A and B are shown apart, each in its own frame.
Chain A
Amino acid sequence: MLWPLFFLMTAIHAELCQPDAENAFKVRLSIRTALGDKAYVWDTNEEYLFRAMVAFSMRKVPNRGATEISHVLLCNVTQRVSFWFVVTDPSKNHTLPAVEVQSAIRMNRNRINNAFSLNDHTLEFLKIPSTFAPPMEPSVPIWIIIFGVIFCIVIVAVTLLILSGIRQHRRNTKGPSGVDDTEDKCENTITVENGIPCDPLDTKGGHINEVFLTEEERLTPL
């Protein structure tokens, strides 16, 4: 009498939990990658713990406090280790909506990871994106601080050099070199033709140097 019922239940269970079934999620574990030599073997006890963690997460959702471990169904466990799971309602006739399961898992992701000594990368819930911790941003970016320091140093150095240059220039112009400047100016009248300051060697100091008169002969035709 009970056998047909039993077959019926397992058949329903089989229907509820299938790869790509409605509200089913695939889970993938990379235990050897995470733990290396200390990797544990994935057996039915580990599966029990997983179902317990999922049930725990669902119980934290309001209105789902009555979720039991037996409501979490696992199927298609592979060597990888990967499997599919669904969470059914107390009547075990249909599965809980994916959105609820998703948000429940996301809230308790850390606890689930820690239970298996894994992290977000080695315990993957496909289609349930994990929330990354936001990076710690200081109020003032570090680079601006360093930039400010170097900028101020350079500005101070430039100002000091310019001021000392001005002071030196003032000292020089008061001194005897003032005489030299006027001498220099009288000797070299600068002729400007077509905006190009011409200071050709041949008319230095107002005297024409005979040597350079024969320009055409000196220059080989270009």
Chain B
Amino acid sequence: MEKARPQWGNPLQFVFACISYAVGLGNVWRFPYLCQMYGGGSFLVPYIIMLILEGMPLLYLELAVGQRMRQGSIGAWRTISPYLSGVGVASVVASFFLSMYYNVINAWSFWYLFHSFQDPLPWSVCPLNDNLTGYDEECEKASSTQYFWYRKTLNISPSIQESGGVQWEPALCLILAWLVVYLCILRGTESTGKVEQLANPKTWISAATQIFFSLGLGFGSLIAFASYNEPSNDCQKHAIVVSLINSSTSIFSSIVTFSIYGFKATFNYENCLSKVILLLTNSFDLEDGFLTASNLEPMKDYLASTYPSKYSEVFPHIRNCSLESELNTAVQGTGLAFIVYTEAIKNMEVSQLWSVLYFFMLLTLGIGSMLGNTAAILTPLTDSKVISRHLSREAISGLVCLISCGISMVFTMEAGNYWFDIFNDYAATLSLLLIVLVEIIAVCYVYGLRRFGSDLQAMTGHTLNWYWKAMWAGVSPLLIVSLFIFYLSDYILMGTLQYQAWDATQGKLVTKDYPSYALAVIWLLVASSTMCIPLVALGIFITHCLKKRGTAAVA
């Protein structure tokens, strides 16, 4: 008799868990960036088309597989075909990499949250230098928000080679982040749900990629969540609901982000103007208040013609202030969340309140997604009878959290942010495309689309719509294959990979080449999850051959 599988208390918990997993930091900092890069509102067109052609079908597929097989990713794919258990293993490996570096973002959010209870906010003023005569040099060259991020939070080294030691402040925050995650996953599915109750061609490729990663396909988290569903659950409806909510959250957050951009751009533009005015006033000893924003341009010409030699001296220091260029500084990722947003917040009234709210929101998003990631790792482990016989669920969760926490201490070192960028860019991108491609081919052609359809009908009572069949069998695999080919060729053609390093002496980012061991790590990351699929298939093929030869020999 099988031990009863834990289940969601009600379907709403499951929906909330999926939404909380899918709606993550990518909605906040990746989608608005893409909108800005690819034409603003018109980006919504390829985005919605890709949502319909690729996002919803694949999401429904993963949920259906989980609900039908009632096991985590490894068990589910092994049920479809033993040769395909590599897909599940690859998902678990990708999830493991993701959870390692993703929780570091939560650690940073905690750090900023704890520092929001001060007046003035620590990133709004530059610290004084040693003899108290001026501001710190690095802070002067960069800005106070950049200084706080690169020096106080990360204490970043000038290049990836200089690792430095583990910084105890972010390490403490990281331990806290992992403890919070452990607290949430400790009791398993039931607690996860309740916690949630209290979440050109480049344009099209970006839209497709964004939908893909935004929904969190291929990690096994959705399979894990759905495996705790009752078989009769209507996962088709839930798939549509989750993907629509995920997309509307992205669109909503881009509205917010654009207004923040506008505020910051206006503020910086006015600041830039006043700096230029001050410089000219001081150099030419003009009357204070004589130069204003409106007469700046004609006055500059007048000064250039009247005092040509002096003007040419001053000219290199005059910055061309333009609102356009301020608006065009599109930033994504940690730079957006921790530098741009904090810069905007520090200039608002009651900035402590906005800061606390903002970082609390980041934490909620981040921890929600982390719960999905850890579920993807834990569900196959707890499903496996070997492991669950020796260790209780609490112990397995504790061990996974401990090991991940230990390894992710790497990201709290001085060079940790560079390794973080490596993981962020390469750990899950290519391998996920391959995983989802194999998933969809496995379900449609290995298990059989007709068979799967009749299984779903037996489970939920609805016949499979022709639309889903068309997407699963034809359109979505084609899209993924083209995405995969594009990214592979992009990686190969790019040649040496480069990264942005923070130069403290200049106060800005500079481009450097990765050293050879960093490149080795990148290839290892990509290979370790992709190679799982063929290697495990090969392994099982060999064991079957040996078994057959063994039985044949006996016979």
Q: Contact check, A131 vs B1: say whether CB atoms are below 8 A apart.
A: no
Q: Give CA–CA (A147, B173) in the complex, Å.
A: 8
Q: List B contacts of A192 (CB < 8 A).
A: 386
For A80, A143, A154, which residue has the most chain B Cβ atoms within 10 angstroms?
A: A143
Q: Tell me which of A78, A131, A180, A201 contacts B3 (CB under 8 A).
A: A180
Q: Is A140 part of the contact surface with B, judged by Cβ < 8 Å?
A: no
Mark out the residues of chain B between 90 and 107 whose CB falls within 8 Å of any chain A CB in the assembled complex: none
Q: Give CA–CA (A130, B282) in the complex, Å.
A: 18
Q: List B contacts of A162 (CB < 8 A).
A: 186, 394
Main secondary structure of the interface of B (DSSP, over half): helix
Using known A-B contacts A143-B114, A180-B3, A219-B81, determine if residue A33 contacts B288 with beta carbons closer than 8 Å.
yes
Using known A-B contacts A131-B133, A183-B1, determine if residue A142 contacts B118 with beta carbons closer than 8 Å.
yes
Q: Tell me which of B114, B176, B540 contacts A154 (CB under 8 A).
A: B176
Main secondary structure of the interface of A (DSSP, over half): mixed
Q: Contact check, B288 vs A143: say whether CB atoms are below 8 A apart.
A: no
Q: Give CA–CA (A161, B182) in the complex, Å.
A: 11
Q: Contact check, A146 vs B385: say whether CB atoms are below 8 A apart.
A: no
Q: Give CA–CA (A75, B134) in the complex, Å.
A: 28
For A30, A198, A222, which residue has the most chain B Cβ atoms within 10 angstroms?
A: A222
Mark out the residues of chain A between 41 and 83 whose CB falls within 8 Å of any chain B CB in the assembled complex: 78-82
Q: Contact check, A222 vs B179: say whether CB atoms are below 8 A apart.
A: no
Q: Is B537 part of the contact surface with A, judged by Cβ < 8 Å?
A: yes
Q: List A contacts of B114 (CB < 8 A).
A: 142-144, 146-147
For A78, A142, A144, A155, which residue has the most chain B Cβ atoms within 10 angstroms?
A: A142
Q: List B contacts of A144 (CB < 8 A).
A: 114
Q: Contact check, A147 vs B176: say whether CB atoms are below 8 A apart.
A: yes
Q: Contact check, B537 vs A151: say whether CB atoms are below 8 A apart.
A: no
Q: Contact check, A30 vs B385: say whether CB atoms are below 8 A apart.
A: no
Mark out the residues of chain B between 315 and 358 whose CB falls within 8 Å of any chain A CB in the assembled complex: none
Q: Contact check, A158 vs B182: say whether CB atoms are below 8 A apart.
A: yes
0/1 interface trace, chain B 271-288, chain A, CB 8 Å (1 if under): 000000000011001111
Quote the shortest CB–CB distance from A66 to chain B (angstroms): 30
Q: Contact check, B386 vs A194: say whether CB atoms are below 8 A apart.
A: no
Q: Is A206 part of the contact surface with B, judged by Cβ < 8 Å?
A: no
Q: How large is the interface on A (under 10, 10 to 19, 20 to 34, 35 or more residues)?
A: 35 or more
Q: List A contacts of B282 (CB < 8 A).
A: 28, 80, 82
Q: Is B486 part of the contact surface with A, judged by Cβ < 8 Å?
A: no
Q: Is A220 part of the contact surface with B, judged by Cβ < 8 Å?
A: yes
Q: Is A31 part of the contact surface with B, judged by Cβ < 8 Å?
A: yes
Q: Is B151 part of the contact surface with A, judged by Cβ < 8 Å?
A: no
Q: Contact check, A184 vs B3: say whether CB atoms are below 8 A apart.
A: yes
0/1 interface trace, chain A 79-103, chain B, CB 8 Å (1 if under): 1111000000000000000000000
Q: Contact check, B186 vs A158: say whether CB atoms are below 8 A apart.
A: yes
Q: Contact check, B287 vs A154: say whether CB atoms are below 8 A apart.
A: no
0/1 interface trace, chain A 106-134, chain B, CB 8 Å (1 if under): 00000000000000000000000111101
0/1 interface trace, chain A 178-196, chain B, CB 8 Å (1 if under): 0010011000101011101
Q: Is A12 part of the contact surface with B, judged by Cβ < 8 Å?
A: no
Q: List B contacts of A197 (CB < 8 A).
A: 384-386
Q: List B contacts of A151 (CB < 8 A).
A: 176, 179
Q: Tell me which of B3, B83, B281 contacts A219 (CB under 8 A).
A: B83
Using known A-B contacts A146-B114, A188-B385, determine if residue A158 contacts B285 with beta carbons closer than 8 Å.
no
Binding site for B on A (CB under 8 A): 28-33, 78-82, 129-132, 134-135, 142-144, 146-147, 150-151, 154-155, 157-158, 161-162, 165, 169, 180, 183-184, 188, 190, 192-194, 196-201, 219-220, 222
A–B pairs, 25, beta carbons within 8 Å: A33-B288, A33-B289, A79-B285, A79-B286, A79-B287, A80-B282, A80-B287, A132-B132, A142-B117, A143-B115, A143-B118, A147-B114, A147-B172, A151-B176, A151-B179, A158-B183, A161-B183, A165-B392, A183-B1, A184-B2, A190-B385, A197-B386, A200-B82, A219-B83, A219-B446
Binding site for A on B (CB under 8 A): 1-3, 78-79, 81-83, 110-111, 114-115, 117-118, 127-128, 132-134, 172-173, 176, 179-180, 182-183, 186-187, 281-282, 285-290, 384-386, 392-394, 445-446, 537, 539-540, 543, 547
Which 5 A-B residue pairs are closest in the complex by CB-CB distance? A129-B133, A143-B114, A78-B285, A32-B289, A80-B285
**13 extra A-B contacts, CB within 8 A, seeds A79-B286, A81-B288, A201-B79:** A32-B289, A33-B288, A33-B289, A79-B287, A134-B128, A143-B111, A146-B117, A150-B176, A155-B179, A183-B1, A196-B543, A200-B82, A220-B445
